[in-house]
């Protein structure tokens, strides 16, 4: 039986498919659907820039409006990926400039972006609207100046935690007077002062501005002026929240905040002078997102703010909040979905604050909608973890960092296997898990058995043997990202589960017991994988086959050999043509 | 906290003399547990790369001070050549005092900043953003480095009488 849908109908139906996974599934149905879908896919997401290359992308998808690329592995955030490893966006930008003149949006995470890239972006795409750079590096304020000067229709310039070479603060003044389309500006990561008058004028002529996150250098006394010019703001990040205590400054600040009826997100708060915190009280009950994680304010002052935030959905704080503050959260923030508690003094073993596992248990009890947790603390117990898992079976993301590696249950001195086991058993929708503390192979057995929806797992200083890794690789059906450091996992589990790696985005293993020989074998056996050995030692060729590598990063790819590797990165088991070699 | 007395010590790698125990400060050392004997207060960890997993961006931004350079001129009565000091490199008034002592030999100035003692021959004053001359040491350090435009070290005997009356006529 044949039938035919007119192409326009198919295209119209596909336009309702927004998720890339859905589009990927549709494209597998039949040749017609594949062809139809690829012509009308407008948004592309590439989770690993080395899994595919620009030419492959452009060949398949000719009409792209928005691209999102991710580069370095997640552990690059913690200094585990040496400088120069890769993630260069330049080749992509060059191809996009050539083929997608109507590209509107670029989102990059952990990539190296040069000024030249930014200049190309600013000139090649007439209708360019959105630039979001997350944890990127390699560019300077000159590149920003080019974007400001040339992107006439820019709506979003969002620099999230980027490493920018700051030559001057003058770049902001390059936005022309005729530029009025700005909706979102995030410069929180910049250290240099930008011209306040240029900033003020920019804000004044941007009626659609919804997000404004300032950097530390914008003084508190001047914030009122900005807020008065943009009372429609939904998301605001202050600069340094400190000033000499002056009633006039305080009252104009409070008045300015009162005027922001649509404000839902607040962040910034560097160098907080507590006396100025009450100025935000008028907006507290509106807030759904509050980030006080740069505020070195003590618990009582934090409590005064949080106790008014009845509608809070996401809270990011330092451990200064202490258990007492988290009790307040549990009582006040009944709509809380996400809790993040960072450590104020991470490199000191002794507790400087009264934050323990109890705070987290309290929030898990009081906040029935809690789904996502990132929690740094100094002690944990199996009983607390079990309570948390029973209180909150709806957890989807659970990341716990006990500061001391291999710390056992502080009450029983046992490993925390049972506690984390309870988490994966009860929280059936768990997609992301980061573990810490003393953990044996048993916890991996639990994970392999129960964590069927687990997408990403982060492990450090855990396990006893290869069995641990084997449990995870053989049991976790949905696993796509696995990152491991300092665990006694070696060759056996890796080689036995080689085909599993083709179903995953990537596997990172550093300071483990994976040998050169195994990496080579894996690379030879699996042409669909790049097995990157990242090792900065000299004279690697003199090391025996069974010597462990420093780091190995394994990812599936249709792109074959990388051509941009530094000398400390070797792709094992393949030569330049993808053929077996002896390395 | 720690697995004392459960025989788990056997599994710990230790630095230090065998058989020794007693009060030890624990340091977070990424799997190697070093005994640091005695000592009050906090000990810094042996740094394991990337642990705890706090991203570099956050570490830099949380350093309590702005990470940009903050060079200010420093002059001293009687010294013909001015110097410059980078306030962003200093963690507090004590370090500022030490830096000034190194530059000008005005010993005791660090102490003078902390307490209103008359013991030091010198006092340190600074010009703030409003153009007023203020005594160094009154406001929190972070606020100070944001408002300080220049520093001056004056001999105490040049100030009028007790305290610093008349300083703003400077």
Per-residue model confidence (pLDDT) at position A2? 52
Which residues of A are less than 8 Å from B148 in CB distance?
none
Q: How many CA within 13 A on the CB side of residue A193?
A: 10
Give the residue with greater pLDDT, B122 vs A397.
Answer: A397
Using pLDDT thresholds of 50, 70 and 90, give the confidence band for residue B17: very low
Which residues of B are less than 8 Å from A461 in CB distance?
30-31
Can you say whether the dihedral through the CA atoms of A337, A343, A349, A350 is positive or negative?
Answer: negative
The residue of chain B with its CA nearest to that of A160 is: B57
Using pLDDT thresholds of 50, 70 and 90, give the confidence band for residue B3: very low
B42·A345 Cβ contact <8 A: yes
Q: How many Å apart are CA B109 and CA A195, to the nearest integer?
A: 36
Q: Report the gap between the CA of B79 and the closest CA in chain A (Å).
A: 32
A406·B31 Cβ contact <8 A: yes
Q: What is the pLDDT of residues B79-97, one digit of tens each?
A: 899 999 988 878 788 889 9
B30·A217 Cβ contact <8 A: no
Q: Which of A61-65, A261-265, B127-131, B162-166 has the lowest mean pLDDT?
A: B162-166
B43·A349 Cβ contact <8 A: yes
**Helices of type H across B55-134:** 56-61, 93-104, 109-114
Q: Is the pLDDT of residue B42 over 70?
A: no
- CB-nearest to A403 from B52, B67, B139 is B52
Residues 6 or more apart in contact with residue A12 via CB below 8 angstroms:
none
Per-residue model confidence (pLDDT) at position A57? 96
Query: Within an 8 Å CB–CB cutoff, is residue B105 touching chain A?
Result: no
Q: How many Å apart are CA A380 and CA A444, to the nearest integer?
A: 18
Per-residue model confidence (pLDDT) at position A579? 43
Contact A554, A506 (CB under 8 A): yes
Which residues of B are less than 8 Å from A434 in CB distance?
53
Q: How many Å apart are CA B167 and CA B170, to the nearest integer?
A: 5
The residue of chain B with its CA nearest to that of A342 is: B54
Q: How many Å apart are CA A118 and CA A187, to the nearest integer?
A: 16
Instruction: Enumerate residues 7 to 66 of chain B having a beta carbon within 8 A of any beta carbon in chain A.
Output: 8, 25-31, 42-45, 47-58, 61-62, 64, 66
Q: Report the gap between the CA of B16 and the closest CA in chain A (Å).
A: 18
Q: What is the pLDDT along chain A (583 residues), one digit of tens a residue?
A: 456 778 888 889 999 998 999 999 999 999 999 999 999 999 999 999 999 999 999 999 999 999 999 999 999 999 999 999 999 999 999 999 999 999 999 999 999 999 999 999 999 999 999 999 999 999 999 999 999 999 999 999 999 999 999 998 899 999 999 999 999 999 999 988 999 999 999 999 999 999 999 999 999 999 999 999 999 999 999 999 999 999 999 999 999 999 999 999 999 999 899 999 999 999 999 999 999 999 999 999 999 999 999 999 999 999 999 999 999 999 999 999 999 999 998 888 889 899 999 999 999 999 999 999 999 999 999 999 999 999 999 999 999 999 999 999 999 999 999 999 999 999 999 999 999 999 999 999 999 999 999 999 999 999 999 999 999 999 999 999 999 999 999 999 999 999 999 999 999 999 999 999 999 999 999 999 999 999 999 888 888 999 999 999 999 999 988 999 999 999 998 865 544 443 3
H/E stretch holding A529: strand A529-534
3-class SS string, A364-384: HHHCCCCCEEEEEECCCCHHH
Contact A165, A140 (CB under 8 A): yes
Please give the structure tokens belonging to residue A54.
């620009």
Mutation target among A219, A345, A404 for the B interface, most CBs of B within 10 A? A404
DSSP letters spanning A268-288: --BT--GGGGGGGHHHHTT-S
Q: How many Å apart are CA A539 and CA A543, to the nearest integer?
A: 7
Per-residue model confidence (pLDDT) at position B46? 54
A461·B30 Cβ contact <8 A: yes
Query: Within an 8 Å CB–CB cutoff, is residue A401 touching chain B?
Result: yes
Contact B74, B150 (CB under 8 A): yes
Q: How many Å apart are CA A270 and CA A198, to the nearest integer?
A: 22
Q: What is the pLDDT of residues B136-156, one digit of tens each?
A: 988 878 778 878 999 999 987
Task: Tell me the sheet residues that pair with A291.
Answer: A316
H/E stretch holding A206: none
In this prediction the pTM is 0.82
Pairs of CB atoms within 8 A across A/B: 119
Task: Tell me the sheet residues that pair with B168.
Answer: none
Using pLDDT thresholds of 50, 70 and 90, give the confidence band for residue B116: low
What is the phi/psi pair of residue A96, to 5°? -60, -40
Rounded to 10 degrees, what is the CA torsion of A29, A32, A37, A39?
160
Determine the 3-state secondary structure of B39 from DSSP. Answer: coil
Contact A353, A382 (CB under 8 A): no
B143·A271 Cβ contact <8 A: yes
């Amino acid at each position: 039986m044949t039938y035919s849908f007119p192409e326009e109908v198919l295209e119209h139906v596909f336009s309702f498919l927004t998720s890339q996974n859905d589009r990927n599934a549709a494209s597998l149905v039949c040749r017609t659907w594949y062809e139809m879908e690829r012509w009308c896919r407008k948004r592309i997401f590439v989770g690993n820039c080395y899994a595919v290359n620009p030419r492959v992308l452009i060949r398949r998808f000719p009409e792209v409006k928005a691209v999102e690329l991710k580069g370095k592995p997640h552990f690059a955030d913690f200094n585990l990926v040496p400088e120069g490893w890769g993630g260069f966006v330049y080749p992509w930008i060059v191809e996009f400039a050539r083929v997608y003149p109507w590209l509107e949006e670029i989102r990059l995470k952990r990539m190296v972006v040069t000024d030249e890239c930014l200049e190309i972006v600013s000139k090649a795409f007439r209708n360019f609207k959105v630039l979001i750079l997350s944890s990127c590096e390699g560019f300077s304020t000159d590149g920003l100046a080019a974007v400001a000067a040339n992107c006439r229709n820019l709506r979003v310039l969002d620099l999230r935690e980027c490493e920018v070479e700051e030559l001057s603060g003058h770049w902001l003044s390059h936005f022309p007077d005729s530029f009025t389309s700005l909706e979102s500006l995030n410069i929180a990561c910049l250290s240099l002062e930008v011209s306040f008058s240029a900033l003020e004028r920019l804000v004044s002529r941007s009626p659609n501005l919804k997000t404004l996150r300032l950097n530390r250098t914008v003084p508190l006394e001047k914030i009122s002026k900005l807020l008065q010019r943009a009372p429609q703001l939904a998301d605001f990040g202050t600069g340094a929240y400190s000033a000499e205590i002056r009633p006039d400054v305080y009252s104009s600040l409070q008045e300015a905040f009162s005027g922001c009826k649509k404000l839902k997100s607040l962040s910034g708060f560097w160098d907080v002078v507590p006396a100025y915190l009450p100025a935000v009280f008028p907006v507290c009950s509106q807030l759904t997102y509050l980030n006080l994680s740069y505020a070195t304010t003590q618990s009582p002052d934090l409590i005064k703010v949080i106790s008014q935030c009845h509608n809070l959905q996401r809270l990011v704080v330092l451990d200064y909040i202490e258990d007492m503050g988290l009790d307040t959260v549990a009582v006040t923030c009944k709509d809380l979905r996400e809790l993040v508690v960072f450590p104020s003094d991470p490199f000191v073993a002794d507790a400087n604050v009264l934050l323990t596992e109890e705070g987290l248990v309290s929030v898990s009890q009081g906040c029935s909608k809690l789904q996502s947790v990132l929690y740094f603390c100094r002690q944990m117990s199996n009983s607390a973890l079990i309570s948390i898992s029973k209180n909150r079976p709806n957890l989807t993301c659970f990341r716990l960092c006990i500061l001391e590696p291999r710390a056992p249950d502080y009450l029983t001195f046992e490993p925390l296997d049972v506690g984390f086991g309870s988490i994966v058993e009860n929280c059936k929708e768990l997609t992301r898990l980061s573990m810490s503390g003393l953990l044996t192979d048993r916890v991996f057995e639990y994970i392999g058995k129960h964590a069927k929806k687990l997408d990403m797992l982060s492990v450090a200083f855990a396990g006893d043997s290869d069995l641990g890794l084997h449990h995870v690789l053989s049991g976790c059906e949905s696993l796509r990202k696995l990152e491991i450091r300092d665990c006694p996992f070696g060759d056996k589990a890796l080689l036995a589960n080689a085909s599993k790696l083709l179903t995953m985005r990537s596997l990172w293993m550093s300071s483990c017991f994976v040998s050169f020989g195994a990496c080579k074998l894996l690379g030879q056996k699996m042409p669909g994988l790049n097995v990157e050995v990242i090792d900065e030692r000299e004279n690697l060729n003199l090391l025996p086959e069974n010597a462990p590598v420093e780091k190995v990063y394994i990812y599936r790819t249709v792109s074959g050999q990388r051509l941009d590797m530094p000398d400390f990165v070797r792709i094992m088991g393949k030569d330049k043509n993808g053929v077996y070699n002896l390395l | 906290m720690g697995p004392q007395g459960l025989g788990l010590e056997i599994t710990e790698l230790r630095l230090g003399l065998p058989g020794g125990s007693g009060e030890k400060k624990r340091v977070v050392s990424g799997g190697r547990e070093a005994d640091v004997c005695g000592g009050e207060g906090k000990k810094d960890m042996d740094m394991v790369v990337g642990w705890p997993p706090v991203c570099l961006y956050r570490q830099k931004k949380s350093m309590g001070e702005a990470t940009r350079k903050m060079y200010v001129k420093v002059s001293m009565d009687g010294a013909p050549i001015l110097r410059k000091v980078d306030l962003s490199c200093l963690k507090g008034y004590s370090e500022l005092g030490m830096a000034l002592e190194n530059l000008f030999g005005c010993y005791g100035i660090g102490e003078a900043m902390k307490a209103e003692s008359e013991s030091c021959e010198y006092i340190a004053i600074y010009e703030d953003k409003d153009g007023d001359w203020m005594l160094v040491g009154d406001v929190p350090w972070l606020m100070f480095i944001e408002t300080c435009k220049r520093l001056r070290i004056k001999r105490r005997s040049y100030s009028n009488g007790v305290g610093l009356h008349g300083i703003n006529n400077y």
